[in-house]
């Protein structure tokens, strides 16, 4: 299956200087996507929690139809390649999941290996499922496998490495050991030939330092959306402080 957008997106992950990993801001709606694209970022990656907040849901509670619709609006507005965080795939069989992702215009996806309950998926079964997704996509999507061991309390890097090894063998294109501490990145990066996605802070992320440690892709989860919401909250407090008959100067 040919998808030039996916091929271009895949190429952005490779051949990079260690201090210049691929930085993918996370738009939560179409307006944010346009702002990030206009700033010159070559690609974007939606955060499921940020999109959920923009739609009025708690993280993990967005119905699949609403998430796919939101990703469609973001991809249409962005004008650059977009990867979509689609949580655990919403229980969809691989064929339908791939069809629905491609219908949004996205060229990649994050798929996590734990559920809302916090339980980690059986790694071999999850690897088999990822292999089916990759086979259905046939190169038309960049499949980024999120590894949730650290997120779920297992801080042994070897636990993450075991899953990374299985997911790489399944045919994914990137791995995302979310919340892995920076000091573990060299071990994780050495365990795979795939680009390692690292979650960075929303303010002053040490991108070059993370790159030197092995990160090849930097994302921010819902951090940028929460930072923007903080600015909105501050503006709201300022507006609320005006006398009833006064109007702010815009």
Chain segment 117-137, per-residue pLDDT in tens: 889 999 999 999 999 999 999
pLDDT given for residue 118 in this prediction: 87
Q: Is the pLDDT of residue 104 over 80?
A: yes
Q: Is the pLDDT of residue 203 over 70?
A: no
Q: Is the pLDDT of residue 226 over 80?
A: yes
In percent, the amount of the chain with pLDDT more than 90 equals 90
Neighbours of 169 (CB within 10 A): 11
Q: Is the pLDDT of residue 194 over 60?
A: yes
Mean pLDDT of 32-39: 98
Q: What is the DSSP letter of 196?
A: B
Distance from the Cα of residue 151 to its chain's centroid: 15
- Write down the pTM of the prediction: 0.93
Mean pLDDT of 86-115: 97
Tokens in use for 193? 């030939």
Angstrom distance (rounded) from CA 73 to CA 78: 9
pLDDT given for residue 242 in this prediction: 65
Mean pLDDT of 80-99: 98
pLDDT given for residue 246 in this prediction: 56
pLDDT given for residue 65 in this prediction: 98
Q: Is the pLDDT of residue 215 over 90?
A: yes
pLDDT given for residue 248 in this prediction: 54
Q: Is the pLDDT of residue 206 over 90?
A: no
Order of strands, sheet of 22-23, starting from the edge strand that comes earlier in the sequence: 22-23, 217-219, 197-199
Q: Is the pLDDT of residue 233 over 70?
A: yes
Confidence of residue 188 (pLDDT cuts 50, 70, 90): very high
pLDDT given for residue 121 in this prediction: 97
Angstrom distance (rounded) from CA 102 to CA 96: 10
Q: Is the pLDDT of residue 244 over 60?
A: no
Confidence of residue 29 (pLDDT cuts 50, 70, 90): very high
pLDDT given for residue 249 in this prediction: 56
As a whole number of angstroms, the longest Cα–Cα distance in the chain is: 66
List the one residue out of 4, 70, 28 whose CA is nearest residue 232. Answer: 28
């Amino acid at each position: 299956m040919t998808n030039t957008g996916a091929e271009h997106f895949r190429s952005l992950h490779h051949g990079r200087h260690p201090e210049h990993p691929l930085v993918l801001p996370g738009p939560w709606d179409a307006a944010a996507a346009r702002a990030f694209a206009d700033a010159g970022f070559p690609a974007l990656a939606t955060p499921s929690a940020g999109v959920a907040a923009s739609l009025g849901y708690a993280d993990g509670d967005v119905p699949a139809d609403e998430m796919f619709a939101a990703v469609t609006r973001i991809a249409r507005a962005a004008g650059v390649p977009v990867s979509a965080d689609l949580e655990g795939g919403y229980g969809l069989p691989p064929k339908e999941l791939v069809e629905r992702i491609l219908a949004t215009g996205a060229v990649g996806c994050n798929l996590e290996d734990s559920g809302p309950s916090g339980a980690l998926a059986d790694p071999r079964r999850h690897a088999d499922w990822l292999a089916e997704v990759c086979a259905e996509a046939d190169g038309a999507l960049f499949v980024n496998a999120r590894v949730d061991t650290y997120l779920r309390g297992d801080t042994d890097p070897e636990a993450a490495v075991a899953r990374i090894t299985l997911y790489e063998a399944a045919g994914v294109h990137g791995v995302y050991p979310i919340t892995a501490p920076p000091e573990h990145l060299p071990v994780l990066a050495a365990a795979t030939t795939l680009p390692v996605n690292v979650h960075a802070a929303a303010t002053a992320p040490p991108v070059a330092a993370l790159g030197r440690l092995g990160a090849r892709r930097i994302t921010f989860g819902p951090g940028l959306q929460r930072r923007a919401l903080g600015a909105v909250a501050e503006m709201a407090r300022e507006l609320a402080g005006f006398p009833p008959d006064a109007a702010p100067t815009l």
